[in-house]
Chains A and B, each alone.
Chain A
Amino acid sequence: MSAAPSSPSNVAPASADVVIDLRRASFGYGERPTVTDATLTVRRGEIVVVLGPNGSGKSTLMKGILGLNERTEGTLTLFGVPGDELRDRARLGYVPQRHTLSTSVRATAEEIVSTGRLPRIGWLGRLRATDRQIVARSLDVVGLADRAATEVSTLSGGQQRRVLIARALAGQPDVLIMDEPTAGVDAANQHVLADVLERLVERGVTMVIVTHELGALERLLTRIVVVDGGRIRFDGTPERYAAQRGSVHHDHDSHHHDDELGAHPSGVTIGPLDVPHDGSRR
């Protein structure tokens, strides 16, 4: 044991830090998967932005991780446990994309955020003082402490988005998975949202943020994953992304024309209108 080589011991603690581990996974509804061959590892403390245009499959990928759609191929490991066997699902803090909260009945921000606490309390149990404190703190983190008793439908879109973030925080998750947190939010609220996310980053919260535009997230993230046409096209640091940005986006442009072209072995982009570089016909 004492003579153990140094390299495996370097790997072991790293694997304990793995929050989400996807291996060659395909997700979708029915027989036709919308995301194929996705391999992705998210470690504790990372701020991963999953970037892609509308309809690229990034939401499907995220919902697949959350177990909200069908995984047709590959494996999903969450906190070292196979995805289907994870009992404590509240460890995944989900912030869905909602432009507005459901307004079919009246509910206060506090009542909505309290639902995020439910997975942490017993079936017949009620929120105790500590649970209420956690709910209050969650509202505080997103800057809505003074609106706890406000009816949610009277809040602005950005404020409602923050209510949903607080709801996920109330479950004390190990990772926050957010779907387009900044989409459809006015500039002022984008700024506030970015501040909220920054506060979460400071607290060391692991985050997976799905978005179609980097915007204010650019200064927070530690890693970028580009999804297009149902495949992961790029996975790396912001620096590497900046260097390869051109080619990554080229890929995605060509992708709209033909699924096959993005995977061209040479890595050179060829659209239907381009003259084949090597002179051969496909």
Chain B
Amino acid sequence: MIDLLSIDFMQRALVAALLVGTVAPMVGIFLVQRRLSLIGDGMGHVALAGVAVGLVTGVAPAWTALIAAVVAAVVIELLRTRGRTNGDVALAVIFYGGIAAGVVIISKSADGTPANLMKYLFGSILTTTSSDLYLFAGLAVLIAVTTWALRPRLFAVANDEEYARAVGIPVLPLNIVLAVLTATTVVVAMRVVGLLLISALMIVPNAASQLIARSFSGALRWAIAFGLVSSVGGVALSYPLNTPSGGTIVLLAVGLFMVTAVVATARTQLSRRRHDIAETHAHEHGIECGHEAIPHGDHVDYVHDGHLHAAHESHYDEHGHESLDGDPSDPSDPTDRPSTTGATGATGTAGTTRTTTGTAR
């Protein structure tokens, strides 16, 4: 690792990986939420045309790619909004037109070797220049700050567009901002991940985080963690393995996804076995429901016919029999009469359920 850090191009590639590993999942979670997982892929196609123009004209390819991707992003979002039936087809025309133009134009430039093309498409640790790095760092900060600042509204729009419109949140401008953020992320990632694989780094870490998270903010944190591990890990591995960095990063991300899937499945199986669900009742416990509420750790149990019921997802968990060591003068629900079979059954399991409530919640 120390060897890796002492090499110039590796330093630059690792910094670029750090940047892209952070911002790609941040933007990607909203694409997943809007069910637009593949849109980043299309923008990568268009960015290739921008790269090609840069190579032919001698302008830094990162800048021309940025312009091409951002213009495409705005056009795509407008088409999607107008989009009657042929929006989907229009996108396909733009995407394939972009990549085809890219390949053809690159072949006309002095650097247009197949090896060079491969580096742009699938990423390479050798290609990040120091001027690229400044641009990427600037763009990454811009993406991170914008996404953070607009996060509540981007979430609201992606969650329920109609509602957002009804309460006066500007839906189209926010969607265009998200499209531009996606395009910018594509450019930041084009050196180490490659234009054909960048979309994976926006989506796969989010796919993995969705398996374990229980909230949007939690999912976002996990996705950034997965993104960082895959991007930095992928770049670091691609040097000793002598593999394209983009492919290595994405394989690592997919590997993380599969491990997470196995762990998450095992965990649900385990927790299902460990927690007891109370008998189904139409009654919903609440502040004024008439059942005594007892604080229990991080939640509240309701005394229902002598049993402790705790809200869990759409049902109630059985948290055992009402404690006997509690205040004996406890004025419990007047309807509470130890019902014969139910009470004995619960008493039998009370000891075990008590100890497992922490995991059940």
Residues of A with Cβ closer than 8 Å to B? Answer: 66-68, 87-90, 92, 94, 96, 98, 101-102, 104-108, 111-112, 114-116, 118-119, 123-124, 126-127, 140, 143, 145-147, 149-151, 154-156, 159, 167, 171, 187-189, 191-192
> Across the interface, do A67 and B215 meet the contact criterion of CB distance under 8 Å?
no
Option from B162, B169, B216 in Cβ contact (under 8 Å) with A118? B169
With A106-B219, A118-B169 known, 12 other A-B pairs at CB within 8 A are A87-B168, A89-B166, A90-B167, A90-B168, A98-B160, A104-B32, A106-B214, A127-B152, A147-B311, A151-B215, A155-B313, A188-B284
Measured CB to CB, the closest approach of chain A to B224, in angstroms, equals 14
Option from A112, A143, A150, A154 in Cβ contact (under 8 Å) with B159? A112
Given contacts A143-B286, A145-B287, contact A108 B215 (CB under 8 A): yes
Interface size on B, residues (CB 8 A): 42
B156 at the interface (CB under 8 A from A): yes
Contacting residues of chain B (262-305) with chain A, CB-CB under 8 angstroms: 282-287, 299-300
- A sample of 23 inter-chain contacts (CB < 8 A) reads A67-B166, A88-B168, A89-B168, A96-B166, A105-B29, A105-B206, A106-B213, A107-B155, A108-B214, A111-B155, A115-B156, A115-B160, A118-B153, A119-B168, A124-B149, A127-B152, A140-B287, A146-B299, A146-B300, A150-B311, A151-B214, A187-B282, A191-B282
Could you give, for residues 197-224 of chain B, a 1 whenever the CB lies within 8 Å of some chain A CB and a 0 otherwise? 0000000001000100111111100000
CA distance A236 to B318 in the complex (A): 48
Could you give, for residues 24-43 of chain B, a 1 whenever the CB lies within 8 Å of some chain A CB and a 0 otherwise? 00000100111100000000
What B residues does A140 contact at CB under 8 A?
287
CA distance A188 to B316 in the complex (A): 14
Given contacts A105-B210, A140-B287, A146-B311, contact A115 B162 (CB under 8 A): no
What B residues does A146 contact at CB under 8 A?
285-286, 299-300, 311
> Across the interface, do A106 and B215 meet the contact criterion of CB distance under 8 Å?
yes
- Among A96, A146, A151, A191, max chain B CB count under 10 A is at A146
Contacting residues of chain B (136-169) with chain A, CB-CB under 8 angstroms: 149, 152-153, 155-156, 158-160, 162-169
Residue pairs across A and B with CB atoms within 8 Å: the count is: 114
> Across the interface, do A68 and B165 meet the contact criterion of CB distance under 8 Å?
yes
CA distance A180 to B310 in the complex (A): 30
CA distance A143 to B287 in the complex (A): 8
Given contacts A104-B35, A191-B282, A192-B284, contact A89 B216 (CB under 8 A): no
What A residues does B359 contact at CB under 8 A?
none
CA distance A159 to B149 in the complex (A): 30
> Across the interface, do B34 and A104 meet the contact criterion of CB distance under 8 Å?
yes
CA distance A255 to B162 in the complex (A): 30
CA distance A94 to B167 in the complex (A): 8
Option from A87, A111, A116, A151 in Cβ contact (under 8 Å) with B217? A111
Measured CB to CB, the closest approach of chain A to B275, in angstroms, equals 13
Given contacts A105-B219, A106-B214, A106-B219, contact A92 B156 (CB under 8 A): no
Measured CB to CB, the closest approach of chain B to A111, in angstroms, equals 5
B314 at the interface (CB under 8 A from A): yes
> Across the interface, do A107 and B216 meet the contact criterion of CB distance under 8 Å?
yes
Lowest 9 CB-CB distances: which A-B pairs, in order? A188-B282, A89-B168, A154-B313, A115-B156, A156-B314, A143-B286, A94-B166, A107-B216, A146-B311
CA distance A145 to B168 in the complex (A): 27
What B residues does A104 contact at CB under 8 A?
32-35, 158
What B residues does A187 contact at CB under 8 A?
282
Given contacts A90-B168, A115-B155, contact A96 B313 (CB under 8 A): no
- Among B29, B32, B210, B214, max chain A CB count under 10 A is at B214
CA distance A114 to B217 in the complex (A): 13
What A residues does B313 contact at CB under 8 A?
150-151, 154-155
- Closest A residue to B211 by CB, please name it: A106
CA distance A57 to B284 in the complex (A): 34
Given contacts A112-B159, A147-B311, A171-B167, contact A118 B152 (CB under 8 A): yes
What A residues does B284 contact at CB under 8 A?
143, 188-189, 192
What A residues does B149 contact at CB under 8 A?
124
Given contacts A68-B165, A191-B282, contact A105 B216 (CB under 8 A): yes
> Across the interface, do A126 and B287 meet the contact criterion of CB distance under 8 Å?
no
What B residues does A105 contact at CB under 8 A?
29, 32-33, 206, 210, 216, 219
Measured CB to CB, the closest approach of chain B to A232, in angstroms, equals 22
> Across the interface, do B300 and A68 meet the contact criterion of CB distance under 8 Å?
no
